[in-house]
Amino acid sequence: MTGLLEGRAAIVTGAGRGIGRAIAEALIAEGASVIIADNGASIGGEDGDPTVARETAAALGKKAFAFADSVASPGAAKGLVETAVKNFGGIDIVVNNAAILRDAFVFRADPRDWDAVIRNNLSAAFYLINAASAVMRDQGKAGRGGAGGYDWGRIVNIVSSAGLYGNLGQAAYASAKAGLFGLTRVTAMDLARAQITANAVAPFARTRVTDIIQPANDAQKAYKERALKIGAHHVANLVTALCSPAGKGITGQLLGVRGREVFLFGQPRPVARIEAGATLAQDLSAKLADKFTDLTTDLEAFNTEPLV
């Protein structure tokens, strides 16, 4: 390792297991100090276990510090940032990785599950960005990182291809992850003058989410089998690269990583236009149908063998 991130302080949510832990390990290996923020809940968000964060931090050594509270409230997010500042002297990197999953078809879903997923997967990320970015901006003005301008600030939001393509029964999860990308774009714009970057990463790797997939057809079975082959360290490699000094010019982007493959996704922009008239519905079908986006799910879109 090169020590590229020596002196940086990071927060990684959901860092007690899976992708979050791999990211924390990679950042520490490059010299960063990391808050392991994980309340130890199940994939559905229930039954928190504070030992998850504590045991992970103990295993990762003196540059790791445990934070075992849920950050799905403004007060908790502010407390998390204050913990980083108190223990590490500042905050330079935020990785919003924590997520829960409560799947159901839209006609069967419990609105309370919708609210819980949006709160944990989207609102919590905003709360943390809101609290951390204010500190980052002040640090930049105070000269943290040197006299050449504050280029240490990095925000990485872990999104999902489900929020880009959609997937059966994942209205809440997909909506939260799509919203998280929108938050990424605005964060990148709002913080550009402060030289703080914000990017979104859609991972393809073995996680608790892939472990609990119950395939309903051959496509889903093949997707799960491929996902189980892909280690979380590939995601960590991309996140670490974005947080490195060389990543300072990359912001507002949507990236994917599947093993050794790294994707740059296009972002929604108009692909065609027509003038509205009395027969608008007919014109839409007649003139634009060949450009409509089909209902391919993310599982079907990425049904090829990964590079591992």
The question of whether 223 is a catalytic residue gets the answer no
| Catalytic annotation, pick one of 33, 123, 177, 223 | 177
CA dihedral for 298, 303, 307, 308, sign (positive or negative): positive
Whether 56 contacts 36, CB under 8 Å: yes
Decide if 236 contacts 5 (C-beta within 8 A): no
Q: Which helix (H) or strand (E) holds 128?
A: helix 124-141
Catalytic pick from 160, 161, 175, 223? 160
154 with 247: CB under 8 angstroms? yes
Q: How far is CA 288 from the centre of its chain?
A: 33
Tell me which H or E stretch contains 216. Answer: none
C-alpha–C-alpha distance, residues 159 and 121, integer Å: 9
Q: Which of 127, 150, 165, 173 is catalytic?
A: 173
How far apart are alpha carbons 82 and 77 in whole angstroms? Answer: 9
Closest to 91 measured CA to CA, from 54, 117, 129: 129
Token output for 140:
């930049």
Edge to edge, the sheet with strand 154-158 lists: 64-67, 33-37, 9-13, 93-96, 154-158, 197-204, 254-258, 261-264
Residue 173 annotated to the active site:
yes
Tokens found for residue 31: 């010299």
Q: Are 82 and 65 in contact (CB under 8 A)?
A: no
How does 141-153 read in b/e, with b if 16+ C-beta sit within 10 Å? eeebbeeeebbbb
Respond yes or no: is residue 177 known to be catalytic: yes
Spatial separation of the C-alpha atoms in residues 204 and 208, rounded to whole Å: 12
Catalytic residue positions, numbered: 160, 173, 177
